Chains A and B, each alone.
Chain A
Amino acid sequence: MNESHTETRKDPMPRFSAAAMREVETIYTRYPPEYRRSALLPILHLAQREFGGWLSRETLEYVAELTGIPPVRVHEVATFYTMYNLRPVGKYHVQVCTNISCWLCGSDLVVKALQEKLRLGWGETSADGRFTLTEVECLGACVNAPTLQINDDYHEDLTPEKVVEIIDRLP
């Protein structure tokens, strides 16, 4: 599903902070002790948040070591799900839905406005590292189409004008 391949990172080997380790322990409490592997998806989400918004090969190896899950299993999970970024993404990951309800309500025009504003094509990151533009499948906000997601937040009922305003307002 997630067609990207993992990249290596230039920084030193990642290690969770003490605060992140406490989060890991909290995550583990949600599952029976003998099924700690259930914590893998949440820990990968945490790792992505902690290590710059993406999962490098080194990060996946670290998660494997930390959880005791074989590295190949961690790798296959990370590559299966589209929300795990296997390459660096910009400070703002702009994910635009173009699926049917959004398309019917004008996502083509929203995409055009966004691409012109950001001067980016699908999958590209701006040279200053601020924006990555990604086309995504259904975001599940169809009655408020067109919709996009910037990092953790949805923006709905978009128009070409509104989407430019949203980008302009970002700090």
Chain B
Amino acid sequence: MGMREIPGEKVVYRNIELQDSHLLAVAREHGAYAAARKALGMSSEEVIEEVKQSNLRGRGGAGFPAGMKWSFIPKDNSRPHYLICNADEGEPGTCKDREILRHDPHLLIEGMIIAAYAVRAERGYVYIRGEFVREAERLQQAVDDAYAAGLLGDDVMGSGFRFHLAVHRGAGAYVCGEETALIESLEGKKGQPRLKPPFPANVGLYNCPTVINNVETLSAVPAILERGGAWYAGLGVPKSSGTKVFSVSGHVVRPGNYEVPLGIPLRTLLDDYAGGVRGGWENLKGVIPGGSSTPVLTAEVCATITMDYDALAKAGSMLGAGSVIVLDKSVCIVRAISRLSRFYRHESCGQCTPCREGTGWLAKIMNRLEAGQGSVGDIELLQDICNNISGKTICALGDAAAMPVAGAIRAFPEEFAYHIKHGRCMVG
């Protein structure tokens, strides 16, 4: 599973290592659905207020405050409201939600019941990436069991609240993790993002008010209802409240998903949880801190950076989905970024010209550089292409393609220059 016993308070991974933690009986034995019962005894407004107080921010990458997102749902009920869980986990480096889907699906279902009650949604969907076949089966079993136990359906826990939940598998498209592309896909179309505004809170699934939250976000909600927003807000650091699951992959001794308070020093996360950098800290070259779209940090920055939204933004990168990819000194940065550029070229939906053409162009130049066939002026050309993609597309995939390239040129300019001058990598 890749997880270790760690000190400190866990919020979303609290039951995940129990034997048969995915079963309803085990989940209930360890407190599942008590928070939902509590929430159903409150008003919708009170539930939203509790989540607002918690300062919980969306864990899918954007970091938007969850309670505020919920409060954008119109107060009237003239149209149906929908709740969607975004389980389309697909950004390279990211694999935290999969553990919840596999090992604590009832925590997610409980979080969705609470969220649905708060935004008055009678129907919800878990949009799960298509490749997660076994995870979808396990989640479906949990949903079936929850229905059988009266936890879902026309009368949730005898409260009179009606909530129907379905599992919907995607079919292989990273862009469907973008919320409006996800909606298009759920409507049975190509997953191409919509222009915003209008935002899903007003015009979402089937043109109705819709809230979309990540698996980890929704899974944090039961604990917040159980122990209070103020308690959750007290975890972590200011503006980055609570805990976060970091997926630590690459060149560490113990890759794994680790839930820790936000604001933890990166060095502590790597040394104390992930077993340290392969070959020791001195062997660290850099870290991609939040998933493949986030700009790489140099080892110098890694030594002191803390893992929270503000510190990473200040360092010119992002917390993203908390997907920490560790690169040791054996890594050719040009090759690493070239691999990522190939990913974004493959995943561009083709709707916006700057992204469709730009991602292909970036990949082509990165590939050329890596192969030792770069030309003088390629670095400037890459930067120019990045500037012409960023902010000029319907969704953030274009920016996500540009950021790692521009970030790597900023952090490791000498490696790019060496590739062009010598036709090979300065590493190995």
Contact = CB atoms under 8 A, between A and B. Distances in A.
Given A101-B249, A142-B249, A143-B249, 8 more contacts: A1-B173, A99-B340, A104-B336, A138-B90, A138-B174, A139-B131, A140-B90, A154-B134
Contact of A137 (B98, B331, B343): B343
Interface in B139-184: 166, 168-174
B294 interface: no
B188 A76 contact: no
A105 interface: yes
A38 B188 contact: yes
Nearest to A154: B134
Interface string B208-252: 000000000000000000000000000000000000000111110
B98 A141 contact: yes
A81 B89 contact: no
Contacts of B70: none
Contacts of B249: 101, 104-105, 142-143, 145
B99 to A, nearest CB: 9
Interface of B: 2, 80, 89-95, 98, 123, 125, 129-134, 166, 168-174, 185-191, 206, 247-251, 255-257, 288, 292, 323, 325-327, 331, 336, 339-340, 343, 346-350
A41 B350 contact: no
A137 B171 contact: no
20 contacts: A1-B346, A2-B172, A32-B206, A45-B171, A81-B172, A81-B173, A83-B130, A100-B93, A100-B325, A104-B327, A105-B250, A137-B346, A138-B90, A138-B174, A141-B98, A143-B95, A143-B257, A144-B2, A144-B95, A145-B249
Find the residue from B131, B247, B336 having the highest chain A CB count within 10 A. Answer: B131
Contacts of A81: 130, 170-173, 191
Contacts of A143: 2, 95, 247-249, 255-257
A80 interface: yes
A85 B346 CA distance: 16
A104 B331 contact: yes
B172 A101 contact: no
A3 to B, nearest CB: 9
A162 interface: no
Contacts of A37: 187-189
Contact of B93 (A77, A83, A101): A101
Nearest to B254: A143
Interface in A15-73: 30-32, 35, 37-42, 44-45, 69, 73
Given A81-B173, A138-B91, A139-B131, A30 B206 contact: no
Contacts, number: 153
A20 B184 CA distance: 25
Contacts of A77: 188-190
A103 interface: yes
Given A84-B171, A101-B249, A142-B95, A1 B131 contact: no
A103 B166 contact: no
A100 B408 CA distance: 14
Which 10 A-B pairs have CB atoms at the shortest separation, nearest pair first? A81-B171, A82-B172, A40-B188, A83-B172, A37-B188, A30-B166, A152-B133, A101-B249, A142-B249, A80-B190
Nearest to B343: A137
B200 to A, nearest CB: 16
Nearest to A2: B172
Contacts of B349: 1, 80
A69 B187 CA distance: 12
A42 B343 contact: no
Contacts of B131: 83, 139-140, 149
A141 B132 CA distance: 10
